[in-house]
Amino acid sequence: MKKFVSLLSFEMNRFLKFLIPTLLITAAVQLFVTVSESLSYNENLKKLIAEGELAERIPPFSIQNVTGDGLYGMSIILIVLMFMFYSFFTWYREWLGKNTFIYRLLMLPTNRTYLLLTKSLVFLIGGLLAFAFQFGLYFVEMKITEVLVTSSHYTSMNIHNVQSMYDIFQNMLFPTSLFEFISTYSFAFGALISLFAGIIIERSFGLKGLIIGAAYFISFFVLYGVLSGLLYTDYFSLALRPSQNEIVLLLYQFLMIGIGTLIGHLLLKNKIKI
């Protein structure tokens, strides 16, 4: 366990070099948009009133004026893109980097599966850190808008309504139950493990492995879609209750996490030689 923790700490330190700058850039952009949108609204409000517009007819300002801004949305997409980039970079820099560092990692006197698990866990930990960071930013941004915008034209909102596309992102940003939280993160973790398994397949079998690995990764989403169709459409209904449908999908995600981990373990142990 000590070796596992040491390897996890090593991988986490490498990941934080990407995560922390990304979060700082995200915070800077979002705070800039928050202040600029608030001040711009105040200026526009004064201009309209000076032109004789009735104050009560002017639409009020809310945090959604900030989160609905395109630049604000891009700052969140930046975090997602960083995670997507690092999911490939964390493996390929080991093989393609200077002195092929992967061989040094595989020569460590520890279970090779630890390499797969630690690289996966840093994404889970990093995802939770990014979620908590963004969640905290919402509170800061709401406080800033409340202070800057004229109180008579400010609409205070609940934290669950900060996103203008709340209905679409509700389960992802604000899970209403522990089950939804586990379901959301297990889906993301299952996709990540499937990607890692696909990368290891590619590294093990070359061009043929690239095709098989890509097909394996895509199959995670295809099978999830097919299973969802069987469970939720009337034509393919299996007559299960909604809660049972969710449990079946959760079990599928756990199964794919287990299969992906097993594939990665077997290939790292038996196929990749040093």
Task: Give per-residue pLDDT as tens, 177-215.
Answer: 778 788 888 898 999 999 999 988 988 888 888 999 999
Q: Kindly report, residue by residue over 135-187, the tens digit of the pLDDT.
A: 899 899 999 998 888 878 888 877 777 766 544 555 566 666 778 788 888 89
**How many domains does one find in the chain?**
2
Judged by DSSP in three states, 163 sits in: coil
Would you give the DSSP letter of residue 61?
Answer: B
Final residue in a domain of this structure, among 174, 194, 223: 174
Which residue stretches of the chain have pLDDT < 50?
Answer: 166-167
CA-based nearest residue to 184, from 230, 219, 176, 263: 176
Crossing angle of helices 2-50/113-148, nearest 10°?
20
Same domain, 156 and 205: no
Range of the domain at 14: 1-174
CA dist., res. 67 & res. 245, Å (int): 33
Q: For position 104, what pLDDT does the model report?
A: 66
65 and 1 in one domain?
A: yes
